[in-house]
Structure 1
């Protein structure tokens, strides 16, 4: 539901080794350049865009590993 907005935010927030349009929803973002530091920047950008807050139990690699995982988290936090 939020994949396109998330893709746009990822593209603006993180320098990846592949173009965002070449990344599938299930692809591992860490394998294309996401790091622990850029994850923080991405999280803050997502929080601002969707007016949400990632709680402590969502601050894990699994939450940020793919567009699909981010979409699931944003959907749940937006509900």
Structure 2
């Protein structure tokens, strides 16, 4: 799951560094993730894992790091 999320963020996140150089706790917004790119990441994750992010999860906290994205996906996949 973590590798799939990393791949999606790498493709859709428009980050300033290669995804291979980014640690799980690095601030993705500081690395160039915009709100528009975060929506693209969210949509790709929803498609890949057949989940839907509730409105309450639409925040910088959810999409701020690879670790927070993975934790949220694990919770939603259940």
TM-score, with structure 1 as normaliser: 0.95
Match of 2:22 in 1: 23
1:12 Cα deviation from its structure 2 partner: 1.0
Which aligned runs of 4 or more in structure 1 are off by greater than 6 angstroms? none
Partner of 1:64: 63
Residue 54 of structure 1 aligns with which residue? Answer: 53
| Gapped regions of structure 1 (runs ≥ 5) | none
Q: Which runs of 5+ in 2 are unaligned?
A: none
The answer to whether 1:11 aligns with 2:10 is yes
What's the offset of the Cα at 1:3?
1.3
Aligned length: 78
Distance in structure 1 (CA, Å) of the matches to 2:67 and 2:14: 19
Q: Quick one: higher RCO (CA 8 Å, sep 6+), 1 or 2?
A: 1
